[in-house]
Amino acid sequence: MDLYDDEKRLAGKTNILSARVILGYQKGRKLHLKVRHFSGVKTVGKFRFDMDKTETFKIHFTVTGGQAKLILVNAFGVKTLIENTFDGEKSLFISQGITRIRMVGQAASFDLLMERLP
């Protein structure tokens, strides 16, 4: 099974990646990335909450080559948030404890703009 669909490896804490270019910045509640020729998995956000809550994100995710997705990883498992292309707002139920948002790619080139709304 390759990494793109291997739930056990995706849920791990280790970043496994190969990429020619990852450019970007994080400022406050905004994350902006330009990624080229990415294969692997990398954590792009981490949350720790004392109780369950719903957070809303504005997301612009455009894949121009290969396959890419964003996943949510917590104690309950792995959930695919977005695969390939998405532009809009997404409300996510985030359970108590530690939750990570990870990007997963297979020979992928993509742009990601993600903002956590107040």
Question: CB of 44 within 8 A of CB of 69?
Answer: no
Domain, as residue range, for 49: 3-116
CATH code assigned at 97: 2.60.120
Alpha carbon distance 69, 72 (integer Å): 10
What pLDDT does 68 receive?
97
What pLDDT does 9 receive?
85
The two tokens of residue 66 are 């290969």
Q: What is the pTM of this model?
A: 0.89
Q: pLDDT tens, position by position, for the chain (118 residues)? A: 578 888 888 888 888 888 888 999 999 999 999 999 999 999 999 989 999 999 999 999 999 999 999 999 999 999 999 999 999 999 998 889 999 999 999 999 999 999 999 8
Number of compact structural domains in the chain = 1
